[in-house]
Structure 1
C-alpha cells in the first residue's frame, strides 16, 4: 500500500495533495470517495480517469465510495465553467442516476460478498430532508466568506461578465458537507478529484477539521488533455460516452485508435492496468515503427474491452472491418444496427420497396437526391446492396435481401453507407 502514490504518479494519476501526511496514512487501509455529477444518463470518457483512480485504490486494499450527486446535480458545479450550467429537473437527475449506477458497476467491485466491496451513495439521501435554516445553522456557520471568495473557481467567475449566482456560490458548501457526512458515517478520510476540484475538496477537508477536530485529506489528479491541449473525451466536439446507446462500440474503439503518437503511451498508463514494462515495450515499438500503430491498437482494445466487454470489442472490430470494405455476411440485424448506428438511414414500408428497382429504392430512401442520380450510380457500378454490387437498372430489392426481414445495407462508393429499415 505504501507504494500506491508512486503507482499513481507513474501513471499520470497524481497532481497534488493537501498534506504530505497522506503518504503515511496510505500505509494502512483507509476510506476515500470521489463524486460524479448526474448531468447525463451516462458517464463520459473524461470520467474514466476518476474511475481508474478509484479502481487503483480498491485494488490496493482501500475502501472506495462512489458518490452520485443527486442533490448537488440539481445545483451544478461551477468549477471550470465560464457560465452557469442549465439547472436540471429532479426527474432528469433521477433518470441519469440509474445510468451512472450501471456504468460504475462495470469497473468497481460492489459485490457485498467480496472482501472489499465498494459503496455507492447518493447525496440526496442526506440533503433531501435538510431545511434551509438547519443547513445554515449546522453547516453554513463553519464557512468563512474570505476563504470562499478566495477559491480560484469563484474568483474566475466573479471576474467574468455574468458573475456568479448565489446558487453556484453555495456549491462548495454542499460538496464540503458531503465529505463531513461520509467522514461521520463511513470514516471517510480522503476525497479525490480532478485538479479543477481543488477548491471544493479543500472546503471539505477544512470542514472536517473544524467539526471533527481530525485531519482529512484531499488528492487531485491532472485533467487529461491531448498533445494539442484539447480536453480529453471529445471527438469532433462530441462527448464520448461509456454507454453504447450514446456512443457506439465502434465509435468508442475508433476514438482511442485515433490517439496521436504523442499521447498514446500516456493514455496507456492512465486508462489501462497494463504493466508499465509492457507499456515501455509498446513505446519502443511505436518509436521503431510508428506506421504500425501497435500501441494505439492495444489501447483501443484494452479500453473497449474494459468498458464494453468482449462482445463490445468484437462488435467494434467487426464494424471496423465492415466499414473499411469487409463483408457483412453472417451479421445479424442487431449487430448491423450497432455497427451502422451513426450512418444515414431511413425507414420505409415493405410495400414501398420490396420488388422495386434498387435505384428507385435508393432515391426513395433519400440516399441520393434523385432517381437520375441513382440511375447514374448504378450504371457506373457504384451502388452496393449488402456488400454486393448492384449489376443493372433492372435489379430489384427482394424480400430475401432483407436481413431478418427488416434491414438492408446500401453503399455508394467504398465507404458511404446507408441503412434501410423496412417495416412490414
Structure 2
C-alpha cells in the first residue's frame, strides 16, 4: 500500500521531507518512527488523536511506532507559537502525568505484536545523565543562533513587546533535536511525525542527525485541529475536549463530534477514521440526500467515541442522547445521570422540594417566575421527558430518578439536571 499517497488523499500531510525517497523507503522496508508527547497536563486531548491514529496507520503496515514521553522537555515547555511562557511544573507532577498519559496512549497502539510492537520511552532516560558542558559542545555547536532566531515561532515571541522569550524556552528546540538524534542512534528511528507547529523542532532533529552522524532522516507534520474560533486545540486553551473521561465525559465527547460544523464532517472522516476514501467521497456527494450528513456525523461520533472510550461508554453516550433528544427515559441508568452531572448539561443543586416555577428560575431555564408560569401553561416544560402544564406543580418523590436526579427540560434542546442534595 502507498501509505504516503493515502495520507495525502486524507489531507494528513502538512509538511514532508524528501517525499519520494521516504515513500520508496517505507514501501520497501519496515521502519521505526516516533512522535513525542510532553506531559504538561494530566490528559491528552482531541488534538493528539491525529498523530496517534497516524502512528496506528504506520503500525498496521508493519512499521514500528515509538512514543516518546517528554519527562525532561516538559520541565522546559515548548514555546512553539505560544503567546506566553508556560507555567513550569514540578518533577512530581510531571511524573504523575507521565503515568496517566502513557496509560491513555496504550489504548491506541499494539504493544504486543512481536517485531513492530509499539514502545514507550521517556527522554529522562538520557537527559538526566547528560553533562551540560558536553551538551553545549556536542549539540549546541551544530546550531546557528541566526537561523534559530529567524524561525517563525521564535520571531513572533521576540516581536511581542509584552512577552519575549526566555533562554529556557529558546533552548527547547535543541532538546527535541537531541531526542531525535538519540532515537535515530539507539532505536533506528528514521521518521518523526508531529503537528505542523512542530516543523521547526523536527527540522532541528534532522539537522543534528545529518551534522553529527552523516545520516539521512525524515520528517512529516500533520495539520493542526482547530477550534471554530481559529485557535488550535491545546492543553492550555479553553474549550478543550480531553481524552480522559473524568475531564470530558464520553457523552460530551460524543456530542462534540455530533455538533461539528457540516463543512468538517467529511474532512474529519478522512482524518480520523480508517473508512475507505472512496466510500467517504461517495457519502459526501450524497450528503444532502435523506439527511445523509446527520447519519455521517453519527458515524464519526460513534467511531471516535468507541476508539477513545470503548464500546460500553459509547453505548452510554448513545443512551443519554436518546433520552435527551428522543425521550427514552425508561432506559436511563444512574451512571448516565452521573455523567450528565459531571459535564453533560447544566446542573442545579436543590436541597428541599421546590415548586416547578422556582426550579425553572434556579436552573436558568426561565428568567422569572412569571415567564416560568407562561412556559408551563404553553406546554413547553417537561419533567423527566413528561410534559407538565400545571402552573402550580410541586415536585414529589416520584420525580426523583434513583432518588437523586430530575431531568428538567424546556422545549427539545434546553435541559437542566436537578440534583437533590440531601445534606
Instruction: Work out whether the TM-score is over 0.5.
Output: yes
Please give the alpha-carbon distance, in whole angstroms, between the structure 1 residues aligned to 2:411 and 2:288. Answer: 35
Q: Alignment RMSD, CA only?
A: 3.0
Do the aligned partners of 1:44 and 1:240 also contact (CA within 8 Å) in 2? Answer: yes
Equivalent residue number for residue 168 of structure 2: 167
Do the aligned partners of 1:18 and 1:219 also contact (CA within 8 Å) in 2? Answer: yes
Deviation of the 1:313 alpha carbon:
2.4
Tell me whether 1:29 sits opposite 2:27 in the alignment.
no
Deviation of the 1:186 alpha carbon:
1.4
309-318 or 189-198, which moves further after superposition?
309-318
TM-score in terms of structure 2 length: 0.87
4-13 or 367-376, which moves further after superposition?
367-376
Equivalent residue number for residue 18 of structure 2: 19
Deviation of the 1:51 alpha carbon:
1.1
Equivalent residue number for residue 385 of structure 2: 387
Do the aligned partners of 1:253 and 1:316 also contact (CA within 8 Å) in 2? Answer: yes
Equivalent residue number for residue 344 of structure 1: 346
Equivalent residue number for residue 4 of structure 2: 5
SS for the counterpart of 2:192 is strand
Deviation of the 1:118 alpha carbon:
0.6
Equivalent residue number for residue 126 of structure 1: 126
Tell me whether 1:415 sits opposite 2:417 in the alignment.
no
- Aligned in 2, Cα 1:282/1:381: closer, same or farther, shift over 3 Å? closer
378-387 or 98-107, which moves further after superposition?
378-387
- Aligned in 2, Cα 1:179/1:346: closer, same or farther, shift over 3 Å? same
Please give the alpha-carbon distance, in whole angstroms, between the structure 1 residues aligned to 2:60 and 2:148. Answer: 35
TM-score in terms of structure 1 length: 0.86
379-388 or 202-211, which moves further after superposition?
379-388
Matches within 5 A, 1:237-252: 238-252=239-253
Per-residue CA deviations over 1:364-408 (Å, capped at 9, x if unaligned) read 777766766666655555543222234546654444443223222
Long gaps (5+) in structure 1: none
- Aligned in 2, Cα 1:222/1:419: closer, same or farther, shift over 3 Å? closer
Long gaps (5+) in structure 2: none
Please give the alpha-carbon distance, in whole angstroms, between the structure 2 residues aligned to 1:383 and 1:259. Answer: 28
Tell me whether 1:141 sits opposite 2:130 in the alignment.
no
Do the aligned partners of 1:328 and 1:387 also contact (CA within 8 Å) in 2? Answer: yes
Do the aligned partners of 1:33 and 1:66 also contact (CA within 8 Å) in 2? Answer: yes
Do the aligned partners of 2:365 and 2:414 also contact (CA within 8 Å) in 1? Answer: no
Matches within 5 A, 1:249-328: 249-286=250-287, 288=289, 292-328=293-329
Tell me whether 1:150 sits opposite 2:150 in the alignment.
yes
- Aligned in 2, Cα 1:342/1:264: closer, same or farther, shift over 3 Å? closer
Deviation of the 1:35 alpha carbon:
0.9
Please give the alpha-carbon distance, in whole angstroms, between the structure 2 residues aligned to 1:199 and 1:150. Answer: 11
Do the aligned partners of 2:81 and 2:154 also contact (CA within 8 Å) in 1? Answer: no
Please give the alpha-carbon distance, in whole angstroms, between the structure 2 residues aligned to 1:85 and 1:176. Answer: 20
Do the aligned partners of 2:15 and 2:220 also contact (CA within 8 Å) in 1? Answer: yes
